[in-house]
Amino acid sequence: MSDEHVFELGDVVLQSGMTLRDAKLVYTTYGTLNRRRDNVILFPTFYGGQHPQNEPMIGPGMALDPAVYFIIVPNMFGNGLSSSPSNTPPPYDRARFPPVTLYDNIMCQHRLVTEQFGVERLALVTGFSMGAQQTFHWGALFPDMVERILPWCGSARTSRHNFVFLEGVKAALTADDAWRGGWYDTPPTKGLRALARVYSGWVVSQAFYREQTYLQLGTASLEDFLVMQEGRRLNSDANNLLAMLWSWQQGDISANDMYNGDFEKALGAISAKAIVMPSQTDLYFPPEDNEWEVQHMPNAEFRPIPSIWGHMAGSPGVNPVDTAFIDRALKELLTS
């Protein structure tokens, strides 16, 4: 739908104290920036996703309509397009890629929005999963700039349970002998397949499997579904997956000098009008976490997605019913 562009960031000093040298933020845009520069929507990417995977939420007649809004989709660091283990030159390549937090991502996205486009206000920030985590960060870090947020299937802080789930995913991948501490010459395909199998136990709900909902995806059996999930990960770079996984595990809107770990203060600073949308059956971003967060946000509504698709309820375009539910909420928020 749209060409990708590269925003040259130069050398970026990260929260870790390391430097991401010659950093690049790859992004794409949809629609036209108006004269007032006030029709901007920011739509960050999710774990393992790149900007084309966001496109099912963008189109004529949808909430994110390029005929009305100027939509910017920045690719998260580590996703293979923006600076990542797979495309950074030595000695910071592969296993030596510096750790990047979601805070680091948002600071660089802010530079893109302000320096490249001269934008001072965002009509909306929205996103799925890790895109939702970035959405919460935008609301907390730049409350005077963000008018609305709609994070779906993600949290403002990664829970301990979510952290442990990701430890299982990481262990499955790195147990492959071909992993070689991240210095592999051929992809650790056994580990990537194992990662996909572990992930499949969490990405949808128990009811999804009980009712054999996977058959709606064109698979002929449970094993067929699992092999299809393997195929999604075999095209990914293992170091990239682990870099994004680390960012996910450290997700916390208060882990910065602005809030110094005071999570409730960070939530209370999110002045944007918000609809927070978990999937009611998400196993690693459970609705209870968002319900607690919304209680500490001054202008937020808690609105779960009524779905048995678990986390996949929010995956753009995968389930038309859930996609439509999210789109209706986005339209409602944008017209408020």
Instruction: Just list the catalytic residues.
Output: 129, 282, 311
Residue 241: which of 211, 198, 204, 283 has the closest Cα?
198
Residues in the chain: 336
Residue 225, judged by CB atoms within 10 A of its CB (0-12, 13-18, 19+), counts as buried
Residue (of 80, 75, 110, 83) closest to 99 by Cα position: 83
Phi, psi values for residue 95, rounded to 5°: -70, -15
Strands 4-13 and 19-30: antiparallel
List residues bridging with 128 in a β-sheet: 152
CA–CA separation, 146 and 123 (whole Å) = 7
At 61, list the tokens: 């007649």
d(CA 272, CA 274): 6
